[in-house]
Amino acid sequence: MVISPIVWWRVRSLNERVVAAVLGGAALLLAEVRFEHREVLGETWHAWLPLAYAALLLLGGGAALLRWQRGGRRILAVLFALGFVIGALGIWFHSGGHPLTHVLQVLSAWQVPPGQNGGIKIGTQPPTFAPAAFWGLGSIGLIACITRTAGEREPAAPAAAGRGGTGTQQSITDRE
């Protein structure tokens, strides 16, 4: 029995749809990072980290999404959490091992009049916060993986019914 993509999409939960959208964002980020890292890929090993992670997220995450109710949700949560590590490493490498100095440099742009470079020539260093895009994707994906909406809940046990709350969301860890 073949299910059309439209039917498949309609039977997905909101969280599954959010994860699918985040995986789509990861595909775009993979293409952009490949373009932006085109020269440095031949110079250093760590330029390959975001590409390898994004490819793993797409392949592993896509397969895990298809098995959402059978352990895929947990696999996706781990993959999205790994995005925080990749983002932090990227900021470290983009700042040459001096992230605080570069963060202050980026924030100092608010003091520079528009149209001036503030003494930093454009294109002379990698963008410090660009790897934080992995934090954004990881955050949204992780929230979708660890939060259950009311439609996804299993019936509550009688002992858990008196815990309070709004009844609209539940952490995946609350269920166990």
**108 is a domain residue:** yes
**134 is a domain residue:** yes
% the chain with pLDDT above 70:
85
**56 is a domain residue:** yes
Could you give the number of structural domains in the chain? 1
Domain range spanning residue 33? 11-113+126-149
Over range 30-38, report the average pLDDT: 95
Confidence (pLDDT) at 155 = 38
CA angle 45, 49, 50 (to 5 degrees): 135
**168 is a domain residue:** no
**118 is a domain residue:** no
Confidence (pLDDT) at 106 = 84
**89 is a domain residue:** yes
SS3 content of the chain, % helix, strand, coil (to 5): 70, 5, 30
**19 is a domain residue:** yes
Confidence (pLDDT) at 153 = 52
Q: Which helix (H) or strand (E) holds 34?
A: helix 14-36
pLDDT tops 60 at residue 94: yes
Q: Which two tokens stand for residue 146?
A: 């660890």
**76 is a domain residue:** yes
